[in-house]
Structure 1
Amino acid sequence: MKVFNLSNVFLGFLLILFTSCQQQENILELESSMRTFDIGVSYSLKIKVSEKIERVTIQFGEEEQVEVVGSVFEFTPQEVKEAEKVVLRGHDGDDKLIQESKYTFKYVDPSVTEPVEDDPEVPRPVGEFPHHNPTSLPQLNTLNRPWSNSQSAIVIDAYESNGIDWDKMAADKRMAAVIHRSGDGLKVDKGYAQRREIARERGYLWGAYHLGRPGNVIEQADKFLDTVGNDDEALLILDLENTQSSSMMNVKEALQFIDYVYDRTGKIVVIYANHSTALDLNSKAKNHALIKKAPFWYARFRENIPSFPTGIWDTYFLWQFSSEINCTKTGSCLYNVPGTRYDMDVNVFPGTVDELKTLWYNPGSEN
Structure 2
Amino acid sequence: MTKKSPILAVNEPVKKTTRKRPATRKATGSKKTASGRTSGRTSKGKKTIRRWQMPSWCYYLLLGFIGACFVICFYYFFIRPYAYRWKPCYGMKAYGVCLPYGFEVHGFDVSHHQGQIDWSELQKTQTAPFPVRFVFMKASEGGDFSDTAFIHNFDEARKHGFIRGAYHFYNPKTDASRQADFFIRSVKLESGDLPPVLDIEVRGEDEKKLRRDLKVWLDKIEDYYRVKPILYTSYKFKTRYLNDSVFNSYPYWIAHYYADSVEYKGQWRFWQHTDVGRLPGIREDVDLNVFNGTLDELKRMTIP
TM-score of the pair, normalised by structure 1:
0.50
1:360 aligns with 2:302: yes
Amino acid at match of 1:175: V
SS of 2:137's partner is: strand
The partner residue of 2:169 within 211, 215, 224 is: 211
Q: How large is the RMSD of aligned CA atoms in angstroms?
A: 2.9
| Structure 2 counterparts to residues 81-230 of structure 1, below 5 A | 147-149=100-102, 152-163=104-115, 164-173=117-126, 174-185=131-142, 186-214=144-172, 215-229=174-188
Could you tell me how far 1:244 is from its partner in structure 2? Answer: 4.9
Change beyond 3 A, Cα 1:264–1:170? closer
1-structure distance, mates of 2:245, 2:267: 17
Unaligned runs of 5+ in 2: 1-68, 71-76, 82-97
Could you tell me how far 1:264 is from its partner in structure 2? Answer: 3.2
Could you tell me how far 1:225 is from its partner in structure 2? Answer: 1.0
Amino acid at match of 2:120: D
SS of 2:257's partner is: coil
1-structure distance, mates of 2:168, 2:255: 15
SS of 1:279's partner is: helix
- Which is richer in strand? 1
- Which is richer in helix? 2
Aligned to 1:11: none
SS of 1:172's partner is: helix
| Structure 2 counterparts to residues 233-312 of structure 1, below 5 A | 233-234=192-193, 235-244=195-204, 250-283=210-243, 286-288=244-246, 291-305=247-261, 307-308=263-264, 310=265
SS of 1:75's partner is: helix
TM-score of the pair, normalised by structure 2:
0.59
Could you tell me how far 1:232 is from its partner in structure 2? Answer: 4.3
SS of 1:277's partner is: helix
Could you tell me how far 1:230 is from its partner in structure 2? Answer: 5.3
| Structure 2 counterparts to residues 65-80 of structure 1, below 5 A | 75-76=78-79
Could you tell me how far 1:306 is from its partner in structure 2? Answer: 6.2
SS of 1:171's partner is: helix
The answer to whether the 8 Å contact 2:136/2:167 transfers is yes
1:319 aligns with 2:280: no
2-structure distance, mates of 1:302, 1:347: 12
The answer to whether the 8 Å contact 1:268/1:293 transfers is no
The answer to whether the 8 Å contact 2:200/2:232 transfers is yes
Aligned to 1:231: 190
Change beyond 3 A, Cα 1:282–1:184? closer
| Identical amino acids, percent of aligned pairs | 23
Q: Which structure is larger by alpha-carbon Rg, 1 or 2?
A: 2
Could you tell me how far 1:346 is from its partner in structure 2? Answer: 0.9
